[in-house]
């Protein structure tokens, strides 16, 4: 402990007062410099192969939160409660009085945060603690923070140290400002919050404080620090997008950069997957859930691709070039990859290879293991007999990903993913989205305001019904005002006219079960062809205007995609009546969710777009607000900036 404060003093680095008090008064303190050190500590020493993370809960006795195994390819942690194996979307509350549209702590829980804050510090002071410094962000975009957790929860700290780069105290620069802190106190979910996942944000004048009252890294180490980046961007006028990205390379050597956004479960990690062939070499498009029919196509050679980002990307002003494209940079040091789609050996050979024999130790969550075994990403732990956990995860360092891109890239195709349920005439739903659609910029903005969470989401605890994930699909992690982010996104879309927008479903197209193949086939096709080179007769306004333009035909390497996958109303099980009923469900949902954005500080252009949606506008009317043109001039952007006053 003394050596830590000596180093900080020599470097003229000041810790927040409450951090200093906790570290100086705790039972014992271990300062970690590397992820490997935290991996060793995860089982209470490298000599141990199994460790139980447990605490004395007043009134409940000893309680085991997680069982940790040392495995050949890293550390495997499993929670004893199925509830703790997925992110609860209602974890966040705000403790401060700064502007926010989120619930304040006192409003949500019925008592003030200051009392539990002091209890948290008192509890931490009685523990053996682990701490380390991290950088939230990448390439000098972001800020330095410090994590403080019980020493026996080193597996949680290990995950955080992988996601956001761990920094040794001696490597900190002179006069480094500590801008965020995570206090981890898992017992409080039992004593104060009825066993629920809770993360409290307290934005002070100089430091963004996070209080993590649970040990699942999703809402705190992962999305909590995402909130820190969003708060910084909110102040400085930029966003961290909720997206994955790849550079796809066609067999003819042209490169197309895809950025894929969407709510949790919307296909971000899956953008990095390779298309799996059947035994005979064909590619399955989908399976009819009514009659069992299967449809295949043949693609002799797939595109290759280089990974860019998995879940978060910085859209910082310093990266942007005045060429009409949006430029992005991965915001993470490692990826929190969901592997529920890997159900058996061979489902994803590239990811299997990266996780079975990694260059560095990995952290596995919700994977069934025994000490000193090899964690296999298709061995998902059971939530109950016969019911595998829907959210198995592995934290994969960027350095373990082959051919990864480490510099900002300009986005050609910016897609939005939605989990769609089965749709039929008898049971209509919003599962009316074809293989992919082209969106005008105004509609692309609306989809990012509404961000449907969609059908059967595996990542979070939810109802299974369509819900809105909110502006940018990152709203559950943001601390400020919806309209601020709506304006930032609108600015971004208007100023990047050479980035084209698409909409792509996953899971179902009408009555056809398709998994994540639509976005992978879109990647294959648009890498070869590009939206700018689509023939004028190849697309037309969709029957539901919220879906932009639908495709009339699509051919990939001489294999035609049946039109039933492009226009859902062509499916005999759906028809126009089933489609129109589904369109009405989607339109009603949009109209309900968009009411939240009709505020005084919404940009005038944004108000026009929302009013158009509420009036059932045509595509031509959306295009009149923001032109959909590859020749959209920078003088038009300047005109937008000069005239886009508040309402």
Q: Is 366 left (phi over 0), alpha (psi -120 to 50) or beta?
A: left
Split at pLDDT 50, 70, 90, the class of 345 is very high
Contact between 455 and 431 (Cβ < 8 Å) = yes
pLDDT band for 464, please (50, 70, 90 cuts). low
**Could you tell me the CA-to-CA distances from 376 to 348, 388, 397, 517 in Å, in that order?**
12, 14, 17, 23
Helices then strands, counting H and E runs in the chain, come out as 16, 32
Which is more confident, 319 or 2? 319
pLDDT tens-digit series, residues 6-37: 999 999 999 999 999 999 999 999 999 999 99
Reported as a single tens digit per residue, the pLDDT across 393-417 is 999 999 999 899 999 999 999 999 9
Please determine whether the domains at 2-236 and 414-643 fall in the same fold group of CATH: no
**Cβ(372)–Cβ(49) below 8 Å:** yes
Mean pLDDT in residue range 282-298: 97
Please answer whether residues 353 and 344 qualify as being in contact, where contact means their C-beta atoms are separated by less than 8 angstroms: no
Q: Does domain 2-236 have CATH number 3.20.20?
A: no
Q: If pLDDT is split at 50, 70 and 90, which confidence band does 640 have?
A: low
Q: Which two tokens stand for residue 486?
A: 């709506």
The token duo for 272 is 């990095």
Q: What is the pLDDT of residue 55?
A: 97
Looking at residue 646, its pLDDT comes to 38
Domain map of the chain by residue range? 2-236, 414-643
Task: State pLDDT tens for residues 80-134.
Answer: 999 999 988 889 999 999 999 999 999 999 999 999 999 999 999 999 999 999 9
Tens digits of per-residue pLDDT, 541-573?
999 999 999 999 999 999 999 999 999 999 999
d(CA 334, CA 152) in angstroms, rounded, equals: 23
Whether pLDDT at 643 is above 70: no
In the predicted model, what is the mean pLDDT of residues 339-359?
91
Task: State how far the alpha carbon of 378 is from the alpha carbons of 335, 338, 345, 475, in Å.
Answer: 18, 11, 7, 31
pLDDT, residue 47, reads 95
* Residue carrying structure tokens 């002003």: 317
Q: Distances in Å between the alpha carbon of 476 and those of 101, 227, 329, 463?
A: 11, 9, 21, 16
Give the pLDDT confidence of 408-448 residue by residue, as tens digits: 999 999 999 999 999 999 999 999 999 999 999 999 999 99
Q: What is the pLDDT of residue 228?
A: 97
Angle formed by the axes of helices 575-594 and 604-614, nearest 10°: 140
CATH number of 414-643: 3.90.228.20
Residue 628 has what pLDDT?
A: 83
Q: How far is C-alpha 216 from the chain's CA centre?
A: 15
Provide the Cα torsion 605, 606, 611, 615; round to 10°: 90
Q: Where are the alpha helices (DSSP H) in 81-137?
A: 105-109, 113-125
Dump the DSSP string for 166-177: EE-GGGSPTT--
Give the tens place of pLDDT for each residue, 506-524. Answer: 999 999 999 999 999 999 9
Which pLDDT band holds residue 630 (cuts at 50, 70, 90)?
A: very low
Confidence of residue 645 (pLDDT cuts 50, 70, 90): very low
Task: Give the whole-angstrom CA distance, residue 197 versus residue 214.
Answer: 6
Burial (CB < 10 A; 0-12, 13-18, 19+), residue 14, is middle
Work out the percent of the chain whose per-residue pLDDT is above 70: 95
452 in Cβ contact with 592 (< 8 Å): no
Rounded-to-integer distance, Cα 591 and Cα 586, Å: 9
Average pLDDT over residues 533-544: 89
């Amino acid at each position: 402990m003394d050596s830590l404060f000596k180093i900080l003093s020599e470097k003229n680095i000041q810790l927040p007062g409450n951090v200093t008090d906790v570290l100086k008064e705790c039972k014992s303190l271990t300062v970690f410099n590397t992820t490997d050190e935290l991996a060793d500590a995860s089982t209470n020493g490298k000599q141990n192969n199994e460790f139980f993370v447990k605490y004395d809960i007043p009134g409940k006795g000893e309680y085991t939160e997680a069982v940790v195994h040392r495995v050949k390819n890293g550390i495997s942690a499993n929670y004893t409660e199925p509830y703790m194996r997925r992110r609860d979307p209602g974890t966040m509350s705000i403790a401060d009085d700064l502007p926010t549209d989120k619930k304040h702590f006192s409003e949500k829980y019925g008592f003030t945060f200051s009392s539990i804050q002091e209890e948290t510090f008192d509890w931490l002071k009685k523990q053996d603690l682990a701490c380390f410094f991290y950088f939230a962000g990448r390439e000098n975009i972001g800020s330095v923070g410090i994590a403080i957790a019980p020493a026996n929860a080193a597996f949680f700290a290990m995950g955080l140290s992988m996601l956001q780069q761990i920094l040794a105290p001696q490597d900190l620069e002179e006069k480094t400002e500590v801008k965020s802190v995570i206090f981890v106190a898992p017992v409080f979910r039992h004593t104060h919050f009825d066993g629920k996942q809770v993360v409290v944000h307290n934005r002070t004048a100089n430091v963004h404080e996070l209080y993590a009252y649970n040990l699942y890294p999703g809402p705190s180490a992962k999305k909590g620090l995402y909130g820190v980046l969003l708060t910084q961007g909110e102040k400085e006028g930029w966003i961290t997008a909720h997206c994955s990205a790849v550079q796809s390379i066609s067999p003819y050597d042209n490169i197309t950069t895809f950025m894929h956004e969407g709510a949790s479960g919307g296909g971000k990690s899956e953008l990095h997957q390779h298309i799996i062939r059947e035994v005979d070499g064909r590619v399955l498009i989908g399976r009819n859930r009514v009659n069992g029919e299967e449809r295949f196509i043949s693609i002799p050679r797939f595109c290759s691709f280089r990974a860019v980002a998995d879940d978060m990307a910085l859209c910082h002003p310093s990266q942007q070039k005045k060429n009409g494209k949006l430029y992005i940079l991965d915001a993470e040091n490692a990826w929190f990859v969901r592997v529920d789609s890997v159900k058996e050996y061979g489902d994803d050979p590239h990811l299997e290879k990266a996780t079975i024999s990694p260059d560095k130790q990995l952290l596995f969550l919700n994977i069934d293991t025994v000490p000193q075994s090899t964690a296999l990403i298709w061995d998902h732990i059971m939530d109950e007999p016969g019911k595998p956990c829907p959210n198995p995860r592995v934290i994969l360092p960027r350095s373990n990903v082959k051919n990864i891109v480490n510099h900002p890239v300009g986005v050609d195709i910016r897609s939005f993913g939605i989990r769609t349920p089965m749709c039929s005439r008898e049971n209509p739903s919003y599962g009316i989205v074809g293989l992919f659609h082209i969106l005008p910029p105004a509609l692309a903005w609306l989809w990012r305001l509404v961000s449907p969470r969609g059908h059967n989401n595996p990542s979070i605890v939810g109802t299974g019904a369509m819900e809105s994930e909110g502006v940018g699909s990152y709203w559950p992690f943001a601390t400020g005002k919806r309209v601020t982010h709506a304006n930032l996104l609108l600015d971004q879309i208007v100023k990047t006219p050479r980035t084209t927008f698409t909409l792509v479903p996953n899971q179902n197209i009408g009555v056809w079960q398709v998994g994540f193949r639509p976005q992978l086939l879109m990647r294959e096709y648009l890498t070869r062809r590009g939206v700018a080179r689509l023939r004028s007769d190849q697309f037309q306004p969709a029957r539901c205007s919220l879906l932009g333009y639908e495709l009339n035909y699509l051919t990939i390497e001489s294999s035609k995609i049946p039109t039933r996958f492009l226009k859902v109303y062509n499916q005999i099980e759906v028809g126009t009546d089933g489609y129109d009923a589904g369109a009405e469900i989607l339109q009603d949902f949009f109209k309900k969710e968009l009411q939240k954005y009709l505020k005084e500080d919404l940009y005038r252009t944004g108000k026009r777009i929302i009013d158009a949606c509420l009036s059932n506008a045509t595509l031509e009317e959306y295009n009149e607000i923001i032109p959909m043109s590859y020749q959209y001039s920078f003088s038009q952007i300047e005109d937008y900036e000069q005239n886009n006053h508040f309402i």
